[in-house]
Amino acid sequence: MKICCMFAGQGAQTPGMGRDFAEADAEVMALYDRANAILGFDLKKLCFEGPAEELTKSNICQPAIFVTSYAAFLSLKKRKGVTFDCAAGLSLGEWGALCAAGVLDFESTLKVLEARGRFMQEACELTPSGMIAIVGATPEQLAALCEATGCTVANVNSAAQQVLSGSKDQIAAAAAKAKELGIKRAIPLATAGAFHSPFMAPAREKLAKVLESIEFKAPTMPVLSNITAKPHSSDPAEIKAMMLEQVTGTTNWAADVEAAKALGCDTFVEFGPGKVLSGLVKKIDPALNVTNVADLASLDATLAVL
């Protein structure tokens, strides 16, 4: 068995996340207390109790999902000495994967994600923009849709599902044009703005300044890049460059899964709230073993699989 550990992205947040891990383990509870001290606000309370509308704010949900995902990761590692063969994550989840591989420490990852979320939220507020999920489009249809509307591909989740980013007008045009092109479904998403697109250029510029003071190390296991779908290099400067590119570039989760398979991985374990990545992996290749660790019950189920 070769195992890829996966870390959830934005949108997976839910009130109550991480609470049972923390109540069952003083070390995990201390992790949330450390997060509170680092961030200067009560992230623990927001994770455990909500409200949901606060958790959806990018500067809160990004560190909240990371801490909860890392808590799930530590909970499994403490219960069973699992060795992972590679790590991957979607968007902010890629930062969790880098932390799990020792590229950044917990405190640095938390600081980066609070800043990243804040900068992305600020970029959203500069220009009205959004995202739209495209389901069942052929490559030709997708290309025609982008050319006709000016939208760009933000996420490649699977062969059958992509997400486009654009201005509010471009997203509205894409919804109409998709019907005209005979695309199966086009679903506007309730996001704050056009993530993973040129609209995030101001966030990328600000994040670059933050990363100047953050120490990166060589990964202890392969970490798959959302941008290249290849393992990050051992050069910290190159990893930083790729993570800045990720703010404005296309994330290709489908290619990351194929890259993990090429490394020999046949088992995928998702850490953090929800099962979004688990569902996508199953769609990409139903033959793969997929499990998740979101709470104590799913931890026990995953331990039984491993």
HEC sequence for 146-160? HHHHCCEEEEEEECC
189, 221, 240 - which closes a domain: 189
108 is catalytic: no
Looking at residue 121, what DSSP letter applies? H
232 is catalytic: no
Query: Span 258-273, mean pLDDT?
Result: 97
Paired with 269 in beta bridges are 5, 291
State the Cα–Cα distance between residues 91 and 112, nearest whole angstrom.
13
Alpha-carbon distances, residue 93 vs 10, 18, 24, 100, 298 (angstroms): 8, 16, 24, 11, 19
Question: 34, 106 in Cβ contact below 8 A?
Answer: yes
Question: 277, 11 in Cβ contact below 8 A?
Answer: no
Query: H helices within the chain, ranges in order?
Result: 19-24, 26-39, 43-49, 52-55, 58-79, 92-100, 106-126, 139-149, 168-181, 201-211, 236-248, 253-262, 276-284, 296-305
Q: Which of 234, 233, 226, 216 is nearest to 277 (CA)?
A: 226
State the Cα–Cα distance between residues 169 and 149, nearest whole angstrom.
9
Q: Are residues 131 and 108 in the same domain?
A: no
Q: pTM for the whole thing?
A: 0.95
Q: Are residues 82 and 146 in the same domain?
A: no
163, 189, 215 - which closes a domain: 189
Query: Span 37-62, mean pLDDT?
Result: 93
Q: What is the CATH number of the domain that holds 162?
A: 3.30.70.250
Paired with 251 in beta bridges are 155
Instruction: Determine phi and psi for 157, rounding to 5 degrees.
Output: -85, -35
Q: Are residues 50 and 73 in the same domain?
A: yes
Q: Are residues 205 and 218 in the same domain?
A: yes
Q: Are residues 161 and 104 in the same domain?
A: no
Binned at pLDDT 50, 70 and 90, residue 98 comes out as very high
User: Is residue 228 over pLDDT 90?
Assistant: yes
Summarised one tens digit per residue, pLDDT across range 236-260 is 999 999 999 999 999 999 999 999 9
User: Is residue 190 over pLDDT 90?
Assistant: no
Q: Are residues 118 and 216 in the same domain?
A: yes
- Residue given tokens 């997976």 in the structure block: 12
The token duo for 168 is 């509010």
pLDDT for residue 82? 87
Alpha-carbon distances, residue 35 vs 129, 227, 248, 286 (angstroms): 31, 28, 27, 37
Q: Are residues 111 and 204 in the same domain?
A: yes
User: Is residue 211 over pLDDT 90?
Assistant: yes
Of 196, 197, 232, 278, catalytic: 196
Q: Are residues 73 and 26 in the same domain?
A: yes
Count of C-beta atoms within a 10 Å radius of residue 216: 18
Taking all residues of the chain, what is their mean pLDDT, rounded to a whole number?
Answer: 95
- Residue given tokens 């219960």 in the structure block: 79
DSSP string, 241-261: HHHHHHHHS-EEHHHHHHHHH
- Residue given tokens 């290309």 in the structure block: 143
Q: Are residues 261 and 185 in the same domain?
A: no
Q: Are residues 9 and 67 in the same domain?
A: yes
Q: Are residues 155 and 258 in the same domain?
A: no
State the Cα–Cα distance between residues 287 and 281, nearest whole angstrom.
10
Q: Are residues 114 and 254 in the same domain?
A: yes
pLDDT for residue 276? 93
Of 91, 129, 158, 165, catalytic: 91
Tally of domains in the chain: 2
Residue 92's domain comprises 3-125+197-305
Q: What is the CATH number of the domain that holds 218?
A: 3.40.366.10
171, 189, 207 - which closes a domain: 189
Query: H helices within 56-138, ranges in order?
Result: 58-79, 92-100, 106-126
